[in-house]
Structure 1
């Protein structure tokens, strides 16, 4: 073979390789988000009560994140953060005068339509988008997911426990729990025992219909849910070793298995990034497993404890995410938007500022990759209670104390410092031993107060929540 032929052959190989790389299909994204599932409720994160073989498989084929954080201990603010990449305090979704911390039916409040969601960022790159499951960012038409970048919505607009009754101080009568397709109610009250099954079937159908284009599927399950007794189908009811909660967890595991198997069947596994997680920790009482377990973490959901904010996460993308690995770096739900945007080459630089950061190097196991976060903040509604930096979590010396995972309401203000890597149960207060770390974290907290606010103090970076005039929301179901 002549030198010219060799050079020509190398040129052809390089040309074909570059063309193949350029023609590689973009990644699909799926986010599976459970409701109130505890950190220790599945086998990959230590459960010995619940059988979760499909999550075991996902962890074996993917990467566990053991320091992955929600931005809140309750669902509306955490879901707002996931969707927008922002602390809820930045976008006004942490509190409102009518509903408190969690949106209730027939509210005039919701995610401001001017905020940019993951779905809207990806639609710029011609992604098909769908949400199948619980929304909880506004139930009036102006706030529905179909107005926030989603092509398709099948699910409930708020929590499954918000059923027909009178609750709000304004005397509004909550309607029967509605199951919706896009902006139309198709069943009310919906059968909560079938939701996991129906969501899963609808997800499989939607994936099949959209397999030829890049897609983003957000599947926020209603279960284990907010009710004292979670719901599961007859197939799973009474089958676990932990009552209705365990039955629900094991059905959610079944759903994961259905999704992953379907992706493999359609030859989509190697180009679909799947994230599995929970919106916040389980609201179980101490020494109670009937409403989930956050062990070995301290505390329960609906607080600023590690058990409320740190949630299980598994990332799965066969061939690209290193199989059977673990990441112990601090990452958050807010990081999904910028990470997905970068992977999809979607530009969001001109949008309003966000708090999430790209965690692609951590997802793909890059050598020496570290958390991009200098600090992470724990808010209890409008009150900043704690800050984490590196392995250290400081509970601030605040007064007055709202609900607190460690201190009584009338306790004297004093700092609590925990090494949440070595002292996972938050049992040893190190504040007296490391005053310089306390001082450094207090400085980081002051940065949050200036930008995001604290209690009555408004942050410079705060944006307005969505709000309709009171006249536009009648005291009857508007759908």
Structure 2
């Protein structure tokens, strides 16, 4: 009997030692009070493309529901008026101008994000979250130029803190027209490789480009059906939301809606008063509705922070021109369009719903930016120390859940497509250190890149520097606007306030280390 007692005691000691040795391997304990975080980053959705922001020719009932159940921001901006640099800002919390990223990226370009850099996904992983990116990536893959699409596509999202990626590798208007899952092209067959310079077997749509830039990979191209991309990404997001897991999730969902080509599913064609542009918005709203329903069905709504925003303002492409001619105003009354330093290029919808934390049906005019999302979600999950590694990112959680007495941001840097138009906002002042918008400037109605001063006769917009579709000879060399007095930038007051111009130019140079 004594022998048995000794053996039992020894067994207990061994088990205790084993448990003690194993304890340090635990990374984080699931905490049911931590919210899931879902960021819906829409493509090219303008300030005036949503009912809650004044749209009347399109119906966005589900997006409007988010606004009625959460908080809508009226002075939220993207750090760039262009898609790739805007996404860089959101994911890294760094101004894209710091790495000389101003324009869009295409199929040959490698990963633009340094894999050693802090990212929003790494912040969430450090807090014990499952992380996923679904949708449009548009930040490159691998380390070599041109990208070899026949090899594993890494580094990529998985090397930046995401556990899972599924989506469109570049964008829906440019090749390759395939899906990528984690490191691999979906349905890739090594017996039928990608070939640069060959025509791809993919459907043609108006404002879909580069069909002859890379071909081969027939099965992979066949999987990509333009009219089904929105549904595919939506369904993948719902599948991810419904996957059983112990830890909370962080999902970055980047839709291809409403970027050209405008390819809604058949049931949405002709449903809006704004042509195919508006029909694509209707499909987007349906996608958002299905995702919100999935949260409801899984009992996750009360403990999920939903953030809805756009990567830049609405574009005056061919579909956008048709919508504008029909009476729709994709950026409301704001001056300019996607790619511009003017407000229409970068002031975008931003809505947050977080039941019990964010007051429902409220509005904030706090100056904020998508570059601030890293620091803000870091504050949500208690990872402020990691956010300090992204100094351009400011925590505006106090403006999401409350009403700060003082502005959170002193100033904000905003980039256009043109490097010369790298601008600064401070208080009510907006300073653009060059003439024009800094975006597209094609001269003719019907041009895909129609924009700039040449578009003013078409849009009816007004600006004191522009007459008959051209910049006046005596226009100031740069632009200054008081947005409190002139929110639609109709009068350039550069010559009236030389002291403000000097202050803002110095602050811009100081901030950018010039």
The TM-score, its normalising length taken from structure 1, stands at 0.79
Query: In 1, distance between residues paired with 2:60 and 2:330?
Result: 15
Contact 1:76-1:102 at 8 Å conserved across structures: yes
- Are residue 149 (structure 1) and residue 164 (structure 2) matched? no
Please state how far the C-alpha of 1:193 moved relative to its aligned partner.
Answer: 0.8
Cα deviation 1:147-166 (Å, max 9, x = unaligned): 21111111111111113xxx
- Are residue 247 (structure 1) and residue 279 (structure 2) matched? yes
Please state how far the C-alpha of 1:298 moved relative to its aligned partner.
Answer: 0.4
- Are residue 113 (structure 1) and residue 115 (structure 2) matched? yes
Structure (1 or 2) with the greater strand fraction: 1
Contact 1:278-1:311 at 8 Å conserved across structures: yes
Contact 1:103-1:109 at 8 Å conserved across structures: no
- Are residue 362 (structure 1) and residue 395 (structure 2) matched? no
Flag the 1:415–1:104 CA change in 2: closer, same or farther, 3 A. closer
Contact 1:139-1:158 at 8 Å conserved across structures: no
Flag the 1:389–1:347 CA change in 2: closer, same or farther, 3 A. closer
Indicate the residue corresponding to 1:14 in structure 2: none
Listed as ranges, the matches of 1:435-450 within 5 Å are 435-450=498-513
Contact 2:78-2:86 at 8 Å conserved across structures: yes
Flag the 1:285–1:203 CA change in 2: closer, same or farther, 3 A. closer
Match of 1:386 among 410, 423, 443: 423
**Larger CA Rg, structure 1 vs 2:** 2
Match of 1:25 among 23, 26, 33: 33
Match of 1:225 among 251, 255, 259: 259
Indicate the residue corresponding to 2:126 in structure 1: 124
Cα deviation 1:358-393 (Å, max 9, x = unaligned): 001000023525232334333444334422101111
Flag the 1:350–1:201 CA change in 2: closer, same or farther, 3 A. closer
Instruction: Give secondary structure in 2 for the equivalent of 1:51.
Output: coil
- Are residue 59 (structure 1) and residue 93 (structure 2) matched? no
Cα deviation 1:17-62 (Å, max 9, x = unaligned): xxxxx96521211110111111101101111110111111111111
- Are residue 320 (structure 1) and residue 357 (structure 2) matched? yes
Indicate the residue corresponding to 1:162 in structure 2: 174
Query: In 1, distance between residues paired with 2:275 and 2:411?
Result: 41
Contact 1:376-1:389 at 8 Å conserved across structures: no
Flag the 1:429–1:410 CA change in 2: closer, same or farther, 3 A. closer
Contact 1:81-1:333 at 8 Å conserved across structures: yes
Query: In 1, distance between residues paired with 2:500 and 2:354?
Result: 38
- Are residue 216 (structure 1) and residue 239 (structure 2) matched? no
Aligned residue pairs, count: 410
Listed as ranges, the matches of 1:268-283 within 5 Å are 268-283=300-315
Contact 1:73-1:308 at 8 Å conserved across structures: yes
**Unmatched segments (≥5 aa) in structure 1:** 1-21, 95-100, 164-175, 451-458, 460-479
Query: In 2, distance between residues paired with 1:351 and 1:358?
Result: 10
Flag the 1:285–1:430 CA change in 2: closer, same or farther, 3 A. farther
Please state how far the C-alpha of 1:131 moved relative to its aligned partner.
Answer: 0.9
Flag the 1:120–1:158 CA change in 2: closer, same or farther, 3 A. same
Instruction: Give secondary structure in 1 for the equivalent of 2:360.
Output: coil
Flag the 1:217–1:306 CA change in 2: closer, same or farther, 3 A. same
Query: In 1, distance between residues paired with 2:290 and 2:302?
Result: 16
Query: In 1, distance between residues paired with 2:254 and 2:53?
Result: 20
Please state how far the C-alpha of 1:246 moved relative to its aligned partner.
Answer: 0.9
Please state how far the C-alpha of 1:341 moved relative to its aligned partner.
Answer: 0.8
Query: In 1, distance between residues paired with 2:493 and 2:408?
Result: 23
The structure with higher relative contact order (CA 8 Å, sep 6+) is: 1
Please state how far the C-alpha of 1:276 moved relative to its aligned partner.
Answer: 0.6
**Unmatched segments (≥5 aa) in structure 2:** 1-29, 143-152, 187-219, 442-451, 454-464
Cα RMSD of the aligned pairs, angstroms, is 2.7
Listed as ranges, the matches of 1:35-434 within 5 Å are 35-94=43-102, 101-140=103-142, 141-163=153-175, 176-186=176-186, 187-189=220-222, 190-210=224-244, 212-227=246-261, 230-284=262-316, 288=321, 290=323, 293-349=330-386, 352-368=389-405, 370-396=407-433, 405=452, 414-434=477-497
Please state how far the C-alpha of 1:339 moved relative to its aligned partner.
Answer: 0.7
Contact 1:357-1:373 at 8 Å conserved across structures: no
Cα deviation 1:69-90 (Å, max 9, x = unaligned): 1111111100000000111022
Flag the 1:264–1:421 CA change in 2: closer, same or farther, 3 A. farther
Cα deviation 1:207-257 (Å, max 9, x = unaligned): 111553211100000111133xx1111221222222211111011111111
Query: In 2, distance between residues paired with 1:64 and 1:289?
Result: 28
